[in-house]
Amino acid sequence: MSDDSAVLIIAGPTASGKTELAIQLAREFDAEVVGADSRQIYAGMPIGTASPSVRQQAEVPHHLIGFLDPRRRYSAAQYAEDAIAALIAIRARGKRAIVAGGTGFYIRALMGGVALAPQYDEPLRNRLAREALLHPSEFLHEWLGCRDAARAGALEKNDTYRVLRALEIALAPAALVRDAATRTLSSEGFRYELVFLDVDRATLDERIERRTARMLDDGLIEEAERIGDGVVAASAVGYPQAHAYLRGWSTLAELRSSLTRATRRYARRQRAWFRGEPSTLWLPAEAVRSVVREKLGWSSKRAV
């Protein structure tokens, strides 16, 4: 199979350098980038989601970044379908493809490692909505843990929307899941290698602290105020903390501290998720280029 039918998937914890590495490799190997981040999909939230900059996206074509209204819901099933469509289009243009992001459930869906239910079971959804009114978010999260421990481990206990959606999938009738769309990388003729950027804890914690400071300097609080706290996307790390500050519940110093802690917790969950992916290559960023050449068979098409 041609090396251009191979896909490089770059995963890693937040602040591990996925965006920068993907762009470097895309330049060198004439590739386009498909995002795999459940928050970077939303429009108008580039600061809090650490999305690729306008300059970076002009330099290298990106897909599934900043295209969705923050009020809209978006499932892993829809992501897999949209990502496959983007990858097929990239291949048709004679380009190579790099998938980059830290949302493990999206990447697992793309690889075909999870049953998805893109359709909605209205009675089940209504039942879960009633349960959410009767029980605290911790109860719902524990319920999900009994049905899908891996998915529960990747979600914040207070991310009620995503916990409910995951429960909806976990509790969906077998026929609904069986009828779900099943397009995956393998079914569409793509080989792939999944690498996870392995950054030591002390280094990552330092990067997260610097990123937190930069986000606040760049206008995270103003961005959070603009999108509001009642939209689906506002549950992303950083926005609840910013809204607490806007309500007067914390000082700026407390906001900085809580945001840093929340981001570090999120990074730990990302590492735990990918520990459960047996095909993952855990590598430092500088070793990924060798994987591209040796395992995917890519050779440089142009100088960096």
The answer to whether the CB of 238 falls within 8 A of the CB of 220 is yes
Question: Between the ranges 40-49, 106-115, 177-186, where is the mean pLDDT highest?
Answer: 40-49
- Rounded to 10°, the helix 137-147/122-134 angle is 130
pLDDT of the residue at 130: 80
Residue 271 has pLDDT above 80, yes or no: yes
Average pLDDT over residues 94-120: 84
Q: Which two tokens stand for residue 238?
A: 């950083």
Residue 73 has pLDDT above 90, yes or no: no
Name the CATH topology of 202-268. Helix Hairpins (1.10.287)
For 237, the enclosing helix (H) or strand (E) is: none
Q: 250: exposed, middle or buried (C-beta count within 10 Å: 0-12, 13-18, 19+)?
A: middle
- CB under 8 Å to 237, separation ≥6 — which residues? 14, 48, 156, 259, 262, 263, 266
Q: Which range among 31-40, 134-143, 154-163 shows the weakest confidence by mean pLDDT? A: 154-163
pTM for this entry: 0.81
Residue 39 has pLDDT above 70, yes or no: yes
The answer to whether the CB of 11 falls within 8 A of the CB of 101 is yes
Output 241 or 173, whichever has higher pLDDT.
Answer: 241
CATH 1.10.20 occupies which residues in the chain? 117-180
Q: Which range among 101-105, 133-137, 193-197 shows the weakest confidence by mean pLDDT? A: 133-137
DSSP 157-215: TT-HHHHHHHHHHHHS-HHHHHTS----TTTTT-EEEEEEE---HHHHHHHHHHHHHHH
| pLDDT bucket at 176, cuts 50 / 70 / 90 | low
- pLDDT, the chain, mean: 89
Residue 102 has pLDDT above 50, yes or no: yes
CA distance 270 to 292: 23
Residue 28 has pLDDT above 70, yes or no: yes
Reported as half-sphere exposure (CB side, CA atoms, 13 A), residue 104 has a value of: 25
- Rounded to 10°, the helix 201-218/252-275 angle is 130
Instruction: Identify the CATH assignment for 117-180 out of 1.10.20, 3.90.79, 3.40.50, 1.20.1740.
Output: 1.10.20
pLDDT of the residue at 127: 80
pLDDT of the residue at 133: 78
DSSP 43-92: TT-TTTTTPPPHHHHHHS-EESSS-B-TTS---HHHHHHHHHHHHHHHHH
pLDDT of the residue at 291: 93
CATH 1.10.287.890 occupies which residues in the chain? 202-268
Average pLDDT over residues 227-236: 93
The answer to whether the CB of 35 falls within 8 A of the CB of 41 is yes
CA distance 172 to 142: 18
Average pLDDT over residues 187-215: 96
Q: Which range among 35-44, 67-76, 106-115, 183-192 shows the weakest confidence by mean pLDDT? A: 106-115
With left for phi above 0 and alpha for psi between -120 and 50, is residue 31 left, alpha or beta?
beta
